[in-house]
């Protein structure tokens, strides 16, 4: 059986088109178009507020804030909040009533970036379970509250979306 040059060219073009379609279909089926590596970023208080849709009371001091886009975006923040302002923080952000709990498992990928993230060592810990941010569908937030001294609370925030 003899193949003409024309038949060979048609066969090569058909194979190339089939390969291109297969690669495109595989990319679309994978569901991931982001080829960039995960980005870890240290945040300031304004960025924490914006990403987590968080209203912080006067006197709030950010100790550390971290963001990562691994497994969807995740944020962690440690803040010092005046004890007298704690009720305002909870009320203004739509958080429920804190419950006693353990801080040992209160972490996410972003909190792993913070060397001083140690909520499990506190003697008195209260947790506000994960809740959706009021004006930002898909953004979930939770808090862990630890008394630093009689006038100050350390607030650990986890958020994801």
Q: What is the pLDDT of residues 91-145, one digit of tens each?
A: 999 998 999 888 888 899 999 999 999 886 655 688 898 888 887 788 999 999 9
Based on the domain organization, do 143 and 82 belong to the same domain?
yes
pLDDT number for residue 149: 87
Based on the domain organization, do 94 and 130 belong to the same domain?
yes
- Which of 61-65's residues contact partners 24+ apart within 8 Å by CB, and which partners? 63/116, 63/154, 64/114, 64/116, 64/117
pLDDT number for residue 105: 83
Based on the domain organization, do 69 and 13 belong to the same domain?
no
Tokens 């609370």 correspond to 153
Q: Which domain holds residue 2?
A: 1-33
Based on the domain organization, do 98 and 155 belong to the same domain?
yes
pLDDT number for residue 21: 67
Based on the domain organization, do 25 and 52 belong to the same domain?
no
Q: With cut-offs at 50, 70 and 90, classify the pLDDT of residue 10.
A: confident
- Token readout for 16 is 């190339």
Based on the domain organization, do 23 and 59 belong to the same domain?
no
Based on the domain organization, do 22 and 51 belong to the same domain?
no
Based on the domain organization, do 66 and 97 belong to the same domain?
yes
| 41 closest CA partner among 15, 68, 21 | 68
pLDDT number for residue 121: 66
Based on the domain organization, do 117 and 150 belong to the same domain?
yes
- Say how far apart CA 91 and CA 15 lie, in whole Å: 63
How far lies 26's CA from each of 47, 104, 133, 142, 158, in Å?
36, 41, 35, 37, 35
- Say how far apart CA 138 and CA 153 lie, in whole Å: 28
- Say how far apart CA 59 and CA 151 lie, in whole Å: 12
Based on the domain organization, do 69 and 6 belong to the same domain?
no
Domain count, the chain: 2
Based on the domain organization, do 85 and 101 belong to the same domain?
yes
């Amino acid at each position: 059986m003899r193949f003409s040059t024309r038949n060979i060219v048609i066969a090569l073009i058909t194979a190339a088109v089939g390969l291109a379609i297969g690669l495109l279909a595989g990319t679309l089926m994978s569901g991931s178009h982001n080829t960039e590596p995960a980005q870890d970023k240290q945040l300031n208080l304004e960025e924490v507020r914006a990403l987590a849709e968080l209203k912080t009371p006067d006197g709030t001091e950010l100790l550390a804030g971290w963001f990562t886009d691994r497994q969807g975006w995740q944020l962690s923040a440690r803040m010092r909040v005046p004890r007298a302002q704690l009720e305002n923080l909870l009320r203004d952000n739509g958080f429920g009533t804190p419950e006693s709990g353990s801080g040992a498992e209160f972490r996410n990928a972003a909190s792993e970036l913070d060397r001083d993230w140690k909520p499990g060592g506190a003697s008195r810990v209260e947790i506000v379970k994960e809740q959706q941010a009021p004006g930002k569908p898909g953004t979930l937030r939770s808090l862990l509250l630890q008394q630093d001294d009689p006038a100050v609370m350390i607030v650990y925030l986890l958020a994801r979306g």
